[in-house]
Structure 1
Amino acid sequence: LIANFKYKYHSELHKPCNDVIEIAKILKKLNFHVITLMNLTLVEMHNAVQLFCELLPSKSYGFFYYGGHGYEIFNNKFMMPVDCPDSSTFRMADCFCDLHLIQMAMKNTKLRLLVIILDMCLKIPDRAENPNIYQERTPDFNYTPNPKCNLVQANATSSYLCAYENPGEEYGLYVNSLRKYLSSDVPITECLQHVNEGMITHYMV
């Protein structure tokens, strides 16, 4: 579980800390071994994901959650470390791509299921503010699918949209719904469907 909220060049977020603490409590009750990390630089994010992949035991179920700033560009999703440069100068190379996480995890042939939840904005960078990122070469994170491992990925919002915090609530919008269903005795895909339906019911109706 990674929560980035104290950024050097971007606005501070107020819910990721509470979010990962709450998710950690639920996962521990489900007998998961939980590693919770906060405010990681890019190097630290790489090291944390590498450690996560190395620690996964045989036939395990892996659960990866990231809460923080992020964006989407060229159909790739990028998690922003706390040392990410400002909005006019950051590059894809300054951030951690979800495909890099998948690439690293798929090298673990012992993994049975990997769940990835990205609780972040998926809005594309402003071309007028940061034109150079559109000239950058897209990272190549090709990987060989592991036929023995199922991959489930969920996002807190849709492509090209923002994820929001409600100042009047203890948790972020996505985790406020996730915490109600994560321990349910149903397949993870059904659980995440309930999470999405819960968000629609609570926040959009």
Structure 2
Amino acid sequence: MLIVTVSLFGATVGQAQNSPPQERIALVIGNSTYMHVSPLDNAINDAQLITQSIRDAGFSVTLLQDATQIDMRRAIADFGRALRDGGPETVGLFYYAGHGVQSFGTNYLLPVDAGLTDAADLDLVAMDASSVLRQMASARNRTNIVILDACRNNPFENIRDLDDNGLAEMKAPTGTYLAYATAPGRVAMDGTGQNSPFSYALAEAIQIEGAPIERVFKDVRVKVIAQTGGVQTPWDTSSLTREFVFRPGKQLSAEEMAEQQLWNSVAKSRDPVQIMLFLRSYPRGLYQDEARAMLSDVLELELKGGKPAQPVAATPEPDAPFVSTAPAETEVQMLEKARVSGLKEDYQSYLDAYPDGTFKELVRIEIAGLEGKETQAATSRVAATPAPEGLLEPASAQPRLDPMFFNQPLTEGPSEIVGKTILEIIELSPLFPPIDGLPDAAWKNRSCSTCHKWTRDTLCTQAATYIKEGGARALRKEHPFGGSLKRHLRLWAENDCK
């Protein structure tokens, strides 16, 4: 049986990579070679495997193998002292692999020198598992993890009052996560290979970057059920109030965070117009492949007679039935040819043959993406060619504008936006379609805030991308209100979005 306990006293464990590193301290014990009861094949192997896995996750690990009762008591006391010395930000982890039993609802860990003839002597020859929790709680550190892989079989099954299988369910205070390798009272497998199914799956899942502990053990549960044919089902319960992550993922930039938030909203809606607008905004973004695949799926669902994916602004005529006409076989073949080759010429051939085809919006997005790559490549070639001396425009020749404020009218740009504030502009309708060929009903007489869900905070986040590295490239991208709005947004960001 394996139990995991995570205690949080109020800190967020998953930290960004540029945050001060947490001190992580671990004690790992593996007992295999027992003197008076049956040995275990994989306990030490599992302890070594988990040691390597958590070391990779930033833990300083003390590994103890085939420990006697004296060894275990001393090591656990030293572990508690190290946590107390480490301070409140220290993360503590205890892992035990070996024999474990329960008696009257209390769980005991067995040292290799444990010998027993009567259940009454159990607390004299074994370690009460709760003593580990008490040592860790005394440190008042923010995060503690206890892993007990200790219910592979009952070595004292012939002793009265020790005939219960597995370990008993343990209670823990608020802010605690408990996970069992199998349900309370059941026996987990030791494994026929070098490691137990649970420990092997856990060592792999710990390495997933950015995965909260709930996801780690969900992945473990799925793998163990599959490997054991459903005989062993890991079980867990949680009263966590903060997130814990073994391996924090890469910190996203402000632009990437804005893209992620927008994509989460778009993906949830599965609206083809929203997906196309997203691809227009991030043609080479983090989610372009996922977005294009979803757009293709949505369109194919519509063609097969599924729920029609109508534009957001479309208002059907009363009693007008939806008619879905499947594309001709030649149209599908031309699209597949273009998607396989990836050539702009093949996509253009599709549009020439089917200007009002079923997949015209998808094809136009692909063409725009390919043209963007061509432009980027051409720009890179030009940038790599030194300009003749004397032709570079001096910085002093570039116009400088006054600071921009949120409630300040714009002084340049199309007549539709001159004299209006940023707040007023985002409630206007675009001056031209955000995506070439987008139906008028999807953008005309509709405010941009309908799609982007703009607020002052999200606008500030977007504006900040224009002053970061690569901001000049973002400024060059066409905008339905013209480039002047982006330039004013940049000035506003430079003025701390006042």
TM-score (norm 1): 0.81
Q: After the TM superposition, which residues 66-105 of structure 1 pair with which residues of structure 2 at under 5 Å, given as runs?
A: 66-86=96-116, 88-89=117-118, 91-93=121-123, 94-105=125-136
Provide the secondary structure at the position in 2 that maps to 1:104. Answer: helix
d(CA) in 1 for partners of 2:35 and 2:118? Answer: 13
Whether 2:209 is the aligned partner of 1:178: answer no
Which residue number corresponds to residue 64 of structure 2?
37
Provide the secondary structure at the position in 1 that maps to 2:32. Answer: coil
User: Which whole-Å deviations, capped at 9, do the CAs of 1:97-124 have from their partners, x for residues lacking one?
Assistant: 2211111211112x11111111111767
How far off its partner does 1:152 sit? 3.2
d(CA) in 1 for partners of 2:199 and 2:153? Answer: 19
How far off its partner does 1:84 sit? 0.8
Count of aligned positions: 188
Counterpart AA for 2:204: K
Provide the secondary structure at the position in 2 that maps to 1:117. Answer: strand
TM-score (norm 2): 0.35
How far off its partner does 1:133 sit? 6.5
Provide the secondary structure at the position in 1 that maps to 2:148. Answer: strand
d(CA) in 2 for partners of 1:80 and 1:98? Answer: 10
- RMSD over aligned Cα, in angstroms? 2.3
Whether 2:157 is the aligned partner of 1:157: answer no
Structure number with higher strand proportion: 1
| Greater RCO (CA < 8 Å, at least 6 residues apart) | 1
Distance 1:50 1:151, change over 3 A: farther
Match of 1:193 among 218, 222, 226: 218
Which residue number corresponds to residue 47 of structure 2?
20
Provide the secondary structure at the position in 2 that maps to 1:35. Answer: strand
Which residue number corresponds to residue 8 of structure 2?
none
Distance 1:172 1:190, change over 3 A: same
How far off its partner does 1:132 sit? 6.6
d(CA) in 1 for partners of 2:203 and 2:66? Answer: 22
Match of 1:65 among 62, 87, 95: 95
How far off its partner does 1:12 sit? 1.1
Does structure 1 conserve the Cα–Cα contact (< 8 Å) formed by 2:35 and 2:114? yes
Counterpart AA for 2:118: T
Which runs of 4 or more aligned residues in structure 1 lie more than 6 Å from their structure 2 counterparts after TM superposition?
none
Provide the secondary structure at the position in 1 that maps to 2:60. Answer: coil
How far off its partner does 1:197 sit? 2.3
Distance 1:4 1:14, change over 3 A: same
Counterpart AA for 2:228: Y
User: Which whole-Å deviations, capped at 9, do the CAs of 1:67-110 have from their partners, x for residues lacking one?
Assistant: 00111222221111111114x4353212112211111211112x
Does structure 1 conserve the Cα–Cα contact (< 8 Å) formed by 2:181 and 2:198? yes
d(CA) in 1 for partners of 2:222 and 2:194? Answer: 20
Which residue number corresponds to residue 46 of structure 1?
73
d(CA) in 1 for partners of 2:191 and 2:178? Answer: 24
Unaligned runs of 5+ in 2: 1-27, 164-171, 231-498
Provide the secondary structure at the position in 1 that maps to 2:71. Answer: helix
Structure number with higher helix proportion: 2
Counterpart AA for 1:113: T
d(CA) in 1 for partners of 2:217 and 2:190? Answer: 19
d(CA) in 2 for partners of 1:67 and 1:117? Answer: 8
Counterpart AA for 2:90: S
Q: After the TM superposition, which residues 127-166 of structure 1 pair with which residues of structure 2 at under 5 Å, given as runs?
A: 129-131=158-160, 150-166=175-191
